[in-house]
Structure 1
Amino acid sequence: MEMNDQYMPYQAGDVVYVIYRNPHTQSVANVQEAAVVHDPENPDELALFLYETYYPLTHEMAVYSSEAEAEQAYTQSFGDL
């Protein structure tokens, strides 16, 4: 299993869920599915691929292994979906 660091036991090909804020409307956030992939600019690192964009996968990101887990975190942070 690849690991981005000791806190991120993900490997390329995993499907995860994140709480994504709309960059154009910061008051809008939702749970979104993302793919774990090799970072095209640094193949030794992993990235999240979301909305045709690569985001570095770091331990500072809130990444959830299930949609239910992400929705629970969303509800705790923002209220009902």
Structure 2
Amino acid sequence: MMNTIDPREIKAGDEVFVIYNNPHTPTVSNIRAAEIVQHPKDPNAVALFLNETFHVIEDDDALFSSEQDAEQAFEQLYTDTTLE
């Protein structure tokens, strides 16, 4: 089971880890640290700041409190143990 953070419980200044899918190479994913920051256009919201870009946080986004938690989720998601 993945140990994710509830997006409604984060606040500006929190560091989180995400599994980032490369938009230019969809088959490439890796774990990245990101910061929760004040949303640049909505003073009542926060945003994910990753790769010098603000991202809206959706309820189904997987945010992790540690790199280890993200690595475990990555293994669960991207390692198919049924192939032999």
With normalisation by structure 1, the TM-score equals 0.85
Query: Aligned pair count?
Result: 74
Stretches of structure 2 that go unaligned for 5 or more consecutive residues are: 1-5, 80-84
How far off its partner does 1:31 sit?
0.6
- Identity value in percent: 43
3-state secondary structure, aligned to 2:13:
coil
Runs of 4+ in 1 over 6 A off after TM superposition: none
**Matched residues in 1 for 2:7 and 2:69: separation?**
18
Counterpart of 2:21 in structure 1: which amino acid? R
**Structure 1 gap segments, 5+ residues each:** 1-5
Aligned Cα root-mean-square deviation (Å): 1.3
Equivalent-residue separation in structure 1 for 2:7 and 2:17 (angstroms): 16
Q: Which has the higher contact order (CA 8 A, sep 6+)?
A: 2
Q: Which has the larger radius of gyration?
A: 2
Match of 1:39 in 2: 39
TM-score (norm 2): 0.82
